[in-house]
Amino acid sequence: MTEFKVGRVLLSRLDHGEEMVAQIVDLAEKNDIRTGVFTIIGALCRAELAFYDQAAHRYQTIKVDRPAEIVSCIGNISMRDERPFVHAHATLSDSLGNVVGGHLSSGTVFAAEIFLQELSGEPLIRRHDPITDLYLWSNS
């Protein structure tokens, strides 16, 4: 467990037609945020979600090749390889209200707004975990 102090709160609009995860990384880099949490509301033109196959230790891709509302998008920022790393999960809905969700790999923004809460303290570092084959927060 790591304790943090509440840092800055940033509200920002994400750019239409741009890749959402890359914009979050860019926002973190430009504002020197090494650890934080965020939520996003809005809509995507398309997205790629994923489901982690625990037995095979690999992500299965879920393509969303149509416009979708962001029903929920939550995530965190920590450090991996000395750069901000975004870990986000999203739930998306189509025009009929059908819902799909998972790990957010990428998404093209139609219109989106982010609430980003900086957490001040020693940054969380992601390192390879041999049990899960994922990059998880390090305990050391």
Give per-residue pLDDT as tens, 28-43.
999 999 999 999 999 9
Residue 126 CB burial class (10 angstroms; 0-12, 13-18, ≥19): middle
More confident residue, 139 or 110: 110
5-137: CATH class:
alpha beta
Tokens of 83: 């750069």
- Provide the residue ranges of all domains of the chain, joining segments of one domain with +: 5-137
Alpha-carbon radius of gyration of the chain: 15
**What CA–CA distance (Å, rounded) separates 77 from 88?**
9
pLDDT tens figures, 51-88: 999 999 999 999 999 999 999 999 999 999 999 999 99
Q: 1 falls in which pLDDT band (50, 70, 90)?
A: confident
Query: Average of pLDDT values for 88-112?
Result: 98
* pTM attached to this predicted model: 0.94
- DSSP letters spanning 96-131: T--EEEEEEEEEEEEEEEEEEEEEESSPPBEEEETT
139: pLDDT strictly greater than 80: no
